Amino acid sequence: MHKLKNSKHSVNMETFAGYITLIGAPNSGKSTFMNRVIGQKVAIVSPKVQTTRSRILGIVNYNSSQLIFVDIPGIIKPKGKLNLAMMSIAWSSIKDSDINIFLIDGSKNPEKLLEENKIIFDALGKKINKTILVINKIDKLKKNKLLQVIERFESKDQYMSIFFISSLNGDGVSDLIKFISLKLPNSEWFYPEEQISDIPMRELVSEITREKLFLFLSQELPYSLKVQTTGWKETKKNYVNISQTIFVKKQSQKIIIIGKEGRKIKEIGISARVEIEKLLNMKVFLKLFIKVDKNWDLNI
């Protein structure tokens, strides 16, 4: 799907707007979907579960409708203070939304899907009639398996509708956007026409570095880390100095990130810098620091 460009609308035109919350188990493809509909990265993507920790908005203007997508942490049974905070954010967003998109990974075994999404089924309640069931990753799904997934999840009398999409290549996404745009309440637009997200730029570049940490360290990387942009100085035209601190809980975790002779942190920094430069359309000097703080997650 091509990037959905902001649509010009007349001051006198009837307009529509609403919040659409993306619900799903970890790794159901919510962040990939968000980036697809926005047309650029606003949410990090990683094979590691629970990489989305906070509420992220992505704004799409389609004809006279403003669709405000809300990406929330994947729904799980919370354990520990960080997960409790994340689930609080998730359930609050679901409660306040106009429409929910219940995204499931259609490439998985149907029985496993039912098991990992049980907490969502049980919690939706009356909200199910304002929920669109979206079966994602159809590019990885054989037709005979698709029928099995449909049999387990289809419930035409409950869901608003059912869509089959691939967030990765865009199949079916345009049709879903069009459907949602016709179901939103009458309202003035909540955000300026040119705005695509509410994420501050400092936070977005922090998320890019956090994504690179997940991708480069894979299973070695502890889940318990965060990245904070601590310095931002534009030194001359089209050039910016950015400093970031990576917070971890243990000294041993710091050693993993640094790597032998500092190679790993250098590799991560180069990859993050290249992507940040594309985002900002500026030359970037990126400096990474690592700090051990066993209580960093208490401030989430």
Q: Which residues pair with 60 in a beta bridge?
A: 67
Single-letter amino acid code for the residue at 153: F
Both tokens assigned to 279 = 């985002």
The confidence score (pLDDT) of residue 83 equals: 45
Report the interhelical angle of 251-258 vs 201-217 (nearest 10°): 80
CA distance linking residue 256 with residue 267, whole number of Å: 13
Q: Which residue has the tokens 């905070």?
A: 85
CA distance linking residue 276 with residue 79, whole number of Å: 33
Q: Is 285 left (phi over 0), alpha (psi -120 to 50) or beta?
A: beta
- Specify the fold of 16-181: Rossmann fold (3.40.50)
Tell me if domain 16-181 and domain 201-299 are identical in fold: no
The confidence score (pLDDT) of residue 71 equals: 80
pLDDT tens-place values along the chain, 300 residues long? 334 544 555 556 799 999 998 888 777 888 888 888 888 776 655 444 444 445 678 899 999 999 999 887 654 444 444 444 444 455 555 667 899 898 888 887 777 777 777 777 777 767 778 889 898 888 877 666 666 666 666 655 588 888 989 988 889 999 999 999 999 999 999 989 888 887 788 888 888 898 888 888 866 565 668 899 999 998 877 889 999 999 988 898 899 899 889 999 999 999 999 989 988 888 999 999 999 988 776 655
Query: What are φ and ψ of residue 242, in 5° steps?
Result: -125, 130
The confidence score (pLDDT) of residue 127 equals: 73
The confidence score (pLDDT) of residue 76 equals: 41
CA distance linking residue 130 with residue 94, whole number of Å: 11
The confidence score (pLDDT) of residue 221 equals: 62
* Residue-range domain boundaries for the chain: 16-181, 201-299
Query: What are φ and ψ of residue 133, in 5° steps?
Result: -85, 120
Q: Is the Cβ–Cβ distance between 171 and 138 less than 8 Å?
A: yes
Both tokens assigned to 48 = 């590691």
Q: Which residue has the tokens 């650029």?
A: 40
CA distance linking residue 239 with residue 247, whole number of Å: 26
At the second CATH level, the architecture of 201-299 is 2-Layer Sandwich (3.30)
Burial 160-187 (b: 16+ CB within 10 A, else e): beebbbbbbeeebbeebbeebbebbeee
The confidence score (pLDDT) of residue 92 equals: 57
Strand 283-292's sheet: what is its strand order? 225-236, 239-248, 283-292
